[in-house]
Amino acid sequence: MVDKPVRTRFAPSPTGSIHIGGMRQALFSWLYARRHGGQFILRIEDTDQERFIEGSLNLIYEAFDWFDLDIDEGPRQGGEFGSYVQSERLELYQQWANWLLENGHAYKAFETPQELAQIREEREKMGKAGYDGRARNLTTDEIAQFEAEGRKPVLRFKMPREGKTRTSDMIRGITEFDNSQLNDPVILKSDGFPTYHLAHVIDDHFMEISHITRGVEWLPSLPLHWNIFEAFGWEKPIFAHLPLIMDDKGQKLSKRKTIEGGKSDVPVIVHDFIDAGYLPEAVTNFITNIGWNFGDNQEIFSREEAMKRFDLTDINKANAAYPIEKLESINQYYIQAMETSKLANLLKPVFEDAGYTVDIALMEQVVPIINTRLKKLKEAPNIAGFLFADWAKFEAPPAEWMIHKKSTAAESVTILQRVIELIESLEDFSPTAQYDAFKALAGEMGISNSVLFTPLRISVTGKRVHPPIFETLEILGKDEAIRRIKLAIDQLQKIVSN
RNA sequence: GGUCCGUUCGUCUAGCGGUCUAGGACACCACCCUCUCAAGGUGGAGACACGGGUUCAAACCCCGUACGGACUGCCA
């Protein structure tokens, strides 16, 4: 066990983009493999033909690319244990299912779905659950007769009826299950496809997986998998059942359910995060902090730092609510910490999508004045779009906006006239020089800074909320600034003359 | 219903018998800074589910209770 190379896997079903809980499992598995110099494998579990969604493989790879998680073996990178798509391994499953049948660990059953539903209903009245194993005793004649009728059998695994199954898990330790409580599950469906139970045991064995990481929802079926491994006589991998991320109702967060109650913008699948303008490093940091922590009270850390400390045994046992508010602040932190040119390049397409034409040099000027104001990239055009819009089309804002509550329209006009004169006279138009000059002007006029700045900033930006005014003025330049202020004066004049 | 898992501030968590008058982060509140909005700074409020044990000593160990969750499918 000590010498066995670490090989972990992520095994999603192709049902669309990856759910954030699944992505966290993938990340943890990846982290563990990388920490131990092992391999990380991607396997597609498409044994349920009904849930298959076209194009899922692309979405799954896009998700891994976005997070920059490299995959050692998988459908696209291949590997010596392929295929990595279960529907391409049918023969293998059938072969080993047969082996179980021949060795007395499995049996054929012919019940129809309706009959099964009835059995379940009857057993429920008796306080029991599931299939009762009645087909265990079918005679060869009975089997032959069912087959003559054209009924296609399923294969069910013969669970031990007595004693206990003692399982162990890296996170949860030893758990004992009473075998009398367990039923005989279908391992091979009538269409010849295996169920998850059989398929993953065979794959994890032949792909030489050392550690199976999956959600706790699998814990109840662990004894089943345990017994299948034993029936085959194969060495079991180490299991680690990860806690779940819950939704706002305390239920398992699922992509099959949508989050309701005005919170529909809560991202759940990886592509939601991409679309919303979160940064992959922030999302990585965010999900790594759910159920695991870096220690030393440090919450912001890179994936590489996490890798050095990560261990599956340190993962919490308890499920976690989805702390989505925290992502906003982590994302904000990463945006703020990012280099100007890098952020500018990320922001360019965001502005373009919003309909603006972007000059990258201008963007690099804008980035430093908006980077502390962004929680997500998508918010940027709202804040700074006006700088990229066609300046010639600028329209003065409503006059009321430009009048400070302790001031009047007439006074605002006077202020703006003085401001124009000042701007024209300024040789140094840098933000600090402007600030000094405007402050001096306010003093000279005997008014507070805010009384002076309110008409200035709103007349120039056309908005009530905007980036810092001096930097904005510098970007706009003297001429444009003056032009806008004159437009504003015209607006204000209308009120004054009334 | 049955089986299994879990339970520290609103939330994510630290804690692995004494260092706990329980630490950090997000959110919240107040103040400072301030040209709007942010950012930043300072401070505040806020938790060991409950009851029994064990022990000189329990958030940490044991047992019950309560609550929550998962599973109970020819889905994974």
Q: What is the mean pLDDT of residues A158-186?
A: 93
Domains A89-242 and A392-497 share a fold: no
CA of A44 and C1' of B66: distance in angstroms?
42
The stretch A354-380 carries a mean pLDDT of 96
Q: Is the CB of A432 under 7 A from strand B?
A: no
Give the pLDDT of residue A385.
Answer: 96
Q: Return the pLDDT at A416.
A: 97
* A7-74+246-326 topology per CATH: Rossmann fold (3.40.50)
* Distance between the alpha carbon (CA) of A430 and the C1' atom of B39, Å: 21
Q: Which nucleotides of B are covered by protein (CB under 7 A)?
A: 1-8, 10-15, 23-27, 34-40, 68-76
Give residue numbers, 65 to 104 of A, with CB < 7 Å from strand B: none
In tens, the pLDDT along A290-342 reads 999 998 899 999 999 999 999 999 999 999 999 999 999 999 999 999 999 99
pLDDT for position A257: 43
pLDDT per residue over A222-232, tens digit each? 999 999 999 99
User: Is the pLDDT confidence value at A3 over 70?
Assistant: no
pLDDT at A229: 98
* Cα separation, A456 vs A412, whole angstroms: 9
Domain boundaries, chain A: 7-74+246-326, 89-242, 338-389, 392-497
Q: pTM value? A: 0.93
A450 touches strand B (CB under 7 A): yes
Please give the average per-residue pLDDT across A455-466, as a whole number: 96
The nucleotide whose C1' lies nearest the CA of A453 is B35
Q: What is the pLDDT of residue A262?
A: 37
Q: Which of A446, A443, A439, A444 is nearest to A456 (CA)?
A: A439
CATH code of the region A89-242: 3.40.50.620
Average pLDDT over residues A263-273: 82
Amino acid identity, residue A430?
A: S
Between CA A86 and CA A46 the distance in angstroms is 6
Question: Could you count the other beta carbons within 10 Å of the beta carbon of residue A436?
Answer: 12
Residue that the structure tokens 């020089």 belong to? A433
Quick one: pLDDT at residue A350?
A: 97
> Where is average pLDDT lowest: A81-85, A126-130, A278-282, A376-380?
A126-130
Stretch A440-457: mean pLDDT: 94
Work out the percent of chain A whose per-residue pLDDT is above 70: 97
The answer to whether the C-beta of A178 is closer than 7 A to strand B is yes
| Angstrom distance, A451 CA to B55 C1' | 70
What pLDDT, on the 0 to 100 scale, is given for residue A248? Answer: 82
pLDDT one-digit tens code per residue, A71-88: 999 999 999 998 999 999
Q: What is the rounded average pLDDT of the residues A48-77?
A: 95
Contact A485, A477 (CB under 8 A): no
A79-CA/B42-C1' distance, Å: 57
Distance A9 CA to B76 C1' (A): 15
Token pair for A46: 């498409």
State yes or no: pLDDT of A1 exceeds 70. Answer: no
A318 CB-to-strand B distance under 7 Å: yes
Which A residues 406-425 have CB within 7 Å of strand B? none
Please provide the average confidence, as pLDDT, over all residues in chain A: 93
The answer to whether some atom of strand B lies closer than 7 Å to the beta carbon of A326 is yes
- What are the DSSP calls for A186-231, one per residue? EEE-TTSPBPHHHHHHHHHHHTT-SEEEEEGGGGGGHHHHHHHHHH
State pLDDT tens for residues A199-212.
Answer: 999 999 999 999 99
**For the segment 272-311 of chain A, residues whose CB is within 7 A of strand B:** 289-293, 295, 297, 299
Taking the CA of residue A34 and the C1' sugar atom of nucleotide B49, their distance in angstroms comes to 39
Instruction: Give the residue numbers of A annotated as catalytic, written as ranges.
Output: 255
CA of residue A460 to C1' of nucleotide B21, angstroms:
55
pLDDT for position A316: 96
Average pLDDT over residues A5-31: 96
pLDDT (average), residues A102-114: 95
- Given a cut of 70, whether residue A259 has pLDDT beyond it is no
Within A59-202, strands assigned E span 106-109, 154-157, 164-169, 173-178, 186-188
pLDDT at A258 over 60: no
The helix/strand/coil state of A241 is strand
Question: Which CATH code fits A392-497?
Answer: 1.10.10.350
> Region A166-180: what's the mean pLDDT?
93
Q: Which residue is nearest to nucleotide B39 (CA to C1')?
A: A372
CATH 1.20.140 fits A338-389, yes or no: no
Is strand B within 7 Å of residue A48 (CB)? yes
Question: Which value does ipTM take for this structure?
Answer: 0.94
CA distances (Å), origin A254, targets A222, A258, A321: 22, 8, 13
Whether residue A469 is predicted with pLDDT greater than 80 in this model: the reply is yes
